[in-house]
Chains A and B, each alone.
Chain A
Amino acid sequence: MKRLGMISATALMVSTAAAWADELSVVCSAEQDWCDLMASAFEEQNPNIDVLMVRKSTGETLAQIRAEAGNPKIDVWWGGTGDPHLIAAEEGLTQASGVDTSDLLGWAQNMAEISGGKTVGIYAGALGIAYNSDILEKKGIAPPQCWADLEDPRFAGEIQVANPNSSGTAYTELATFVQLFGEDEAMVKLAAVGKNVNSYTKSGSAPSKAAARGETGVSIGFMHDMVKLASQGFPLKIVAPCEGTGYEVGAVSIIEGARNVEGAKKWVEFALNADVQSRAPEVGSFQVPSNSNAQVAPESPDLASIKLIDYDFATYGSSETRERLLARWDAEVGDPNPQQ
């Protein structure tokens, strides 16, 4: 009894230190290496600020800041696709940073405008198709060039794509189809592609990884992920669809009620800096930087040569449109596909 008591008393007594003023708590939703690079580079520039960084996916981060609302333990949220950042802004979970966005490209400024300055674009990545050249060659399947090709029966059971109910990547694809072809036509097309889909994965990056390893022939996902896999040595070829394609914008936000707002603002300024953004390719991140003065890596998918649609983040990022489109997707495309 005493021992029990002693141990639990000790456990209760080990109270811990909360964040110091000169500590900056950052959640990073980009790739781990990029996170590490950012943290160390920021500490070099601001030796008096100690960056505490942890990597979590955007969905996990959003769930956490929602649960922590009112007494957040995070100061700034850097990286990851823009939709959850916009949702956080919409729900009042983040605050305006008031940084100067004049050097940024149009789509990054657009992000700040939509959210009332609460989130700012830091990079963009276009949606694309990847195929495993070994598999397609072995099976004698001609590679896809357009979204429409994916409806062809030659790809039966070879396409993998994420489920838009769980994955932001797949939602971007759904919204892209809607913006390219109109809502009704998009659903017909997606259902036709769905006949060739071997599985709807939960995670958005899983299909391209599966394609890299030959577990599926063709995948839909973000091109910078595909570039990275190809650069690691996988037989992956990347296609920018001929009809044009949508894109995601990675974002940075300051959490409402952050303990170290000053530090968080410094972080946002730092993250938008051209020199800092130019360093991403060092760690194999090939997204297109948002600062117009930043250098674009030669491997990066050249946004100028890709036919990009004028992606409407305000409309397709809103909860209302999202719920309606997903309900239609469930009914008309669906996993399992109702037409099969």
Chain B
Amino acid sequence: MKKTVLIWLALGLAGFVLLPWHMTDDGLFDPSWLSDSDAATGLFSTLAGQWWLAPAGLALLGAVILQLAIENPVKRARLTLGTAVAGLTFIAVQGLIIVRAGPRVFEGLFTGDMVMAGQPGMGAGAGLCALALLFVATISLSQSGKGQGDAFVVSTIGLIVALVAIFVFFPVVHILVRAFEVDGGYSLSEFFPRFFSSDIWGLGCLVGERSCGVGINSLFLAIMTGAGTTLLGLSFALIFTRTAFRAKKLLRVLTVLPIITPPFVIGLALILLFGRTGTITEYFAELLGWEATRWLYGFWGIYFAQLLSFTPIAFLVLIGVVQGVSPSMEEASQTLDADRWQTFRFVSLPLMRPGLANAFLLGFIESLADFGNPLVLGSGYSVLSTDIYFAIVGAVADPAKAAILALALLTLTLSAFMAQRLWLGKKSYATITGKADSGQNASLNPVLKWVCYGTALPWAAFTLVVYSMIVFGSFVKLWGINHSFTLDHYIRAFGINFTTGRFTGVAWDSYFTTLTISSIAAPLTALVGLSTAYLLVRQKFWGKDAFEFSTMLSFAIPGTVIGVSYIMAFNFPPIELTGTSIILIIVFVFRNMPVGVRGGIAAMSQLDKSLDEASITLGANSFATVRRVILPLMGPAVLAALTYSFVRAITSVSAVIFLVSAKHNMATSFIVGRVENGEFGLAIAYSAVLIITMLAAILLLQLLVGARRLRRSDRVQHVAKAA
């Protein structure tokens, strides 16, 4: 361990001495900073007069001396820990105080031209130094008698806490303090009446007034969507694992389609089918002699669109969990003379609780944060996410109102999160134990089977219709008006001039940017998400519940708020990222990581801890245990996390709108622009291409990750082999 600490210290020192401390204007791989006076290494800058950088180098140096000089391991670890923490604190404080325009606070304390000249944002050198100090601190902490003495675990916790603090808390605080702002000052007494106003929590719709508060609207919608998507997801998952349904492959594709659909497209398709002049509405209106109505606009429209959009997420969480329920338990139940319904009701279903709870929570939160569907279909039904958006970008911009609404939204999320914890309780749901387990999953009893078919299959058919419409829409001149065949939309978006080899289509730029950024963000998201899940399920540490909630924070806050808060936080030193592609990657990683966390938690709570213990007993450390035992058993969760984060990076819109720049434009922002411009054909053609791209990527991922083998074969009773 002393060796690891020294390696990190060496890296940190190298960063201090060899890499530019501040951000360079020319990019990392441009060596011109060597001769440029603007960006010099930490050491050089310190000598040149930026004395406030010295503590970082001194802390690293001090830690090296401590490591080499002190024999007593505990004492050495404690002293090193203190030094590293002090170094980190110095780096953070100097960065926060001395910005581009010189010191922000304590102006009296700082004198001299160098301080007044300020400094740009932190760069590679600062990053490496901070990282090295962080790991030195966590490793030393694990050796100093605190924690479990496991350097890997403590370091991972430290890293994730640091990342969440920088990229979730730091920006979010920027916007939430606005909720307390009154005319240049801050006031708590103003906050409460505004927070509890009837505009947000009014229950007027129950007593016959036309509408409830936005908070109540959102809550009702979110509960309905959470319940609906969980039920549908469960039906699909049961059909997959417990029945001999023939077209499972097709069904699988259908369950994935909605999440890979760019925003607005589902809403638009629903309008063309069910709107007042929609195909289906007109058909029934003529058949039954009814007046065609605008029933789609409002609650039902948003609800249908959200069910379509979010059922796949519930399915992705549930499929792993339903598969994971051990056949032995079900066999034991049947041996004890329970029938198939009793087995399902009293054995399988309770074991699926973590999956159900996590699926519901995700559906609930997704619904709260959903922006595209309420915007297109909401009409008079106001929800928090759209109200927040228009409080920021509307004709009267009111950041305080946006912050208050965001807090209301957070309150709802927090409550759902607590309710989920209560419901799951402290029971164990582990059924994958490593013991010989060659049983067969009980197939569903006929009634349940038909209930599943009855809910899932009409839904699948509905999805199929919506998507055929979308494909159809991309090949006709003007969807809904002029249905003559054309390839124009595709040529405009993705034209290639073969004689010159130039990509002439207008969509290419954003298409490539989107793919690049999503491919970088997806593995990072999965990594961060699953590591967090591992810590939450497998490790005990102080402040775990708060840690768990903080990882959900970025997901629960609507994209618009995240987008604006990222600009506020990362447009200025110490961390200046606006206008770069990094800010897009980071926003995706930290916004989508909760899905990895939820999926990971659900899957991991099924793995018996004895598997880890066996591995540790056999002499493996926690890192090896994670890699060789847990990870292989987490196939579906890894796949879900990768797929979801990749797809979300491509389809998310509200956070991205503020963060895209001319150099790094994203597909969704491009599509939204076209939709606003009324160019539905082009928007849909682009969406269709994106859908196909994502579908291909998902299939590729499935091949790469592979199926996990829990037992000699996953079987369903009376069936030779399930797919």
Contact = CB atoms under 8 A, between A and B. Distances in A.
Interface string A232-258: 111100000000000000000000000
A171 interface: yes
B511 to A, nearest CB: 15
Interface stretch (B179-187, B232-240, B674-682, B698-706): B674-682
Interface string B576-589: 10111110011000
Interface string B384-419: 001000101111110000000000000000000000
B478 A233 contact: yes
A247 to B, nearest CB: 17
A165 interface: yes
Interface string B125-157: 001100100010000000000000001100110
Nearest to B658: A64
A304 interface: no
A73 B571 contact: yes
B28 A233 contact: no
Interface string B537-575: 000000000000000000000000000100110011000
| The 4 A-B residue pairs with the shortest CB-CB distance in the complex, in nearest-first order | A59-B393, A52-B662, A12-B127, A214-B277
Contact of A57 (B531, B670, B676): B676
A32 B28 contact: no
Contact of A232 (B123, B478, B580, B663): B478
Nearest to B477: A233
B710 interface: no
Interface stretch (B19-27, B40-48, B335-343): B19-27
B159 interface: yes
Interface string A88-128: 00000000000000000000000000000000000000000
Given A67-B567, A215-B275, A1 B156 contact: yes
Contacts of B375: 202-203
B23, B396, B567, B623: residue with the most chain A Cβ atoms closer than 10 Å: B396
Contacts of B100: 71
Contacts of B28: 13-16
Contact of A67 (B128, B395, B571): B571
A18 B25 contact: yes
Contacts of B446: none
Contacts of B434: none
Interface in B452-495: 477-478, 480-482
Given A60-B657, A213-B277, A167 B394 contact: yes
Interface in A1-53: 1, 4-5, 7-9, 11-19, 25-26, 31-33, 36, 51-53
Contact of B571 (A5, A62, A68, A233): A68
A228 B101 CA distance: 47
A153 interface: no
Interface stretch (A142-150, A184-192, A193-201, A266-274): A193-201
A199 B151 contact: no
B303 interface: no
Contacts of B131: 5, 8-9, 12
Contacts of B677: 31-33
B630 interface: no
A54 B567 contact: no
B276 interface: yes
B388 to A, nearest CB: 11
B722 interface: no
Contacts of B568: 67
Contacts of B210: 336, 340
Q: How large is the interface on B (under 10, 10 to 19, 20 to 34, 35 or more residues)?
A: 35 or more
Interface residues of A, number: 75
A18 B568 CA distance: 18
A1, A228, A326: residue with the most chain B Cβ atoms closer than 10 Å: A1
7 contacts: A1-B155, A14-B28, A16-B28, A59-B393, A68-B571, A213-B271, A336-B210
Given A14-B28, A15-B27, A16-B581, A1 B152 contact: yes
Contact of A8 (B151, B159, B211, B477): B159
A56 interface: yes
A12 B128 contact: yes
A51, A232, A322: residue with the most chain B Cβ atoms closer than 10 Å: A232
Contact of A9 (B127, B275, B380): B127
B124 A199 contact: no
Contacts of A310: none
Contacts of A166: 390, 394-395
B564 A63 contact: yes
A74 to B, nearest CB: 9
B560 to A, nearest CB: 9
Contacts of A263: none
Contact of B582 (A11, A216, A232): A11
Nearest to B121: A15
A229 interface: yes
B651 to A, nearest CB: 18
A185 B26 CA distance: 61
A309 to B, nearest CB: 20
